[in-house]
Each structure stands twice: as C-alpha cells, then as structure tokens.
Amino acid sequence: MRIHIRNEKLQDYRRVEEVAREAFWNLYFPGCHEHFVIHKMREHEDFIKDLSFVIEVDGEVVGGIFYTHSKVVTEEQKEYPTISFGPVFISPDYHGKGLGRKLITHSIQAAKEEGYRAILTLGFPYHYEPYGFVGGKQYNISMPDQKFYKGLLVLPLYKGALEDISGCVVFSDALEVDDEEVQAFDQSFPPKEKKVQASQREFEKAASMLDE
C-alpha cells in the first residue's frame, strides 16, 4: 500500500467531495452536508489552502483534511488568531488502517512549521486526545454561549501559545451552510438513502455534554 499526503489540487475537487459524502453520509444526521461545506469553503476568505491535504493510497485520493481561520475572543473583545480543522475524513473502505492518524499528524506538523498559535476543533475527545488535544476548559476557552463542552478541543502549537489568554472560540462561518443549498448541490451526486442510525444519537449526546 503506497501512501502519499499532499496539498489538494483543482483536479481533486470532485473526488474529494465524493469521498467526503461517503464518509459522512448518515453519520451525524440523516444525509450529510460536509461535501458541500468543502465545496463552498475553498472560496472563503478563512480557507487555509496550504493546510488542506489529501491522502492517496496507490495513487487514489481516499481522504482529506481542511483548515480554516478561527479565533479566541476575550471578554475585552481582544482577538487572538487560531486555526481549526474539519471536515477531516477517510473513505469507509479504508477505515482502520491508520490513515486518519497519518493525515492529522501531518497537518499538525505543517501548522507548527507555519507558526500558527493553536488548533481548536470540535469532536469526540477520544479521537483527538492522542494528538495532545485537551478540553477547552483547561485553557479557559469556551463556546460562544460561555459554556465549556467536552467536545471543544484545543492544541497549543508552541510553548506558552495560550498563556494568559481566555475567552470564547469563534469558528469561521465557512462551516455554516443552508439546507436548501446542500440539497441542491447533492442533486449532482448519485442518490443515497437518508437513514436514522445509532451514531446520530451518540453524536447528539456528545455535542451537548458539558465539561464540569
């Protein structure tokens, strides 16, 4: 198995969207919108092209990771720039082969080399703790509602990066999409059945879990 990680190119766009759609379909809710998020994100001012990577196996793209600018805003409205990844995904055909770990590790190292302050993301803690992510509460960083959730995860990229900084995270609106836009975009892909499944309940429960 030949594995190669590189920056996404124009000719990858459709393949990446197809793989993302397969990876996220019915995972968090019936259907998915991540393939459209990626499609729209590429043109957004917050998109970080240099940190957006695909992973190939034997010359075929089987996953990707995408970064956008985010920030921590203090009570005094001072802003500290950070970055965030998501969507990140591997084709279901290649799960369990360590490809996601390679992709995330590669992107974190690239972000360090670029001199970024910290990565903030949303997800299941057990997915990201192996990379050094911890709950936002440890750095006094909350969601905009001032609450600390277990799913808000933070990774400083150099020593003292978040020292004396506290506030709430603001993610890019590049991640926000309209259901009607998603449905229209989805028409260009082969039909897939939307289903309710257990992973959706697990996600809903995890997303609302407070760090107390």
Q: How many domains does the chain have?
A: 1
CATH code at 145? 3.40.630.30
**DSSP-assigned letters across all residues of 60-86:** EEEEEEEEEEEEEE-TT--EEEEEEEE
The answer to the question of residue 104 being in a domain is yes
What pLDDT sits at residue 212? 83
The answer to the question of residue 16 being in a domain is yes
Q: Give one word for 191, left, alpha or beta, with left for phi > 0 and alpha for psi -120 to 50.
A: beta
Q: What domain range is 148 assigned to?
A: 3-189
The answer to the question of residue 198 being in a domain is no
The answer to the question of residue 43 being in a domain is yes
What six digits make up the tokens of 55? 């992973």
The answer to the question of residue 208 being in a domain is no
The answer to the question of residue 212 being in a domain is no
The answer to the question of residue 202 being in a domain is no
Q: Give 127-179 as a 3 state SS string.
A: HHHHHCCEEHHHHCEECCCCCCECCEEEEECCCCCCCCCCEEEECCHHHCCCH
174 within 8 A of 146, measured Cβ to Cβ = no
Stated length of the chain:
212
- Tens digits of pLDDT across the chain (212 residues): 999 999 999 999 999 999 999 999 999 999 999 999 999 999 999 999 999 999 999 999 999 999 999 999 999 999 999 999 999 999 999 999 999 999 999 999 999 999 999 999 999 999 999 999 999 999 999 999 999 999 999 999 999 999 999 999 999 999 999 999 999 999 999 999 999 999 999 888 888 999 98
Task: Read off the pTM.
Answer: 0.95
What pLDDT sits at residue 207? 85
The answer to the question of residue 177 being in a domain is yes
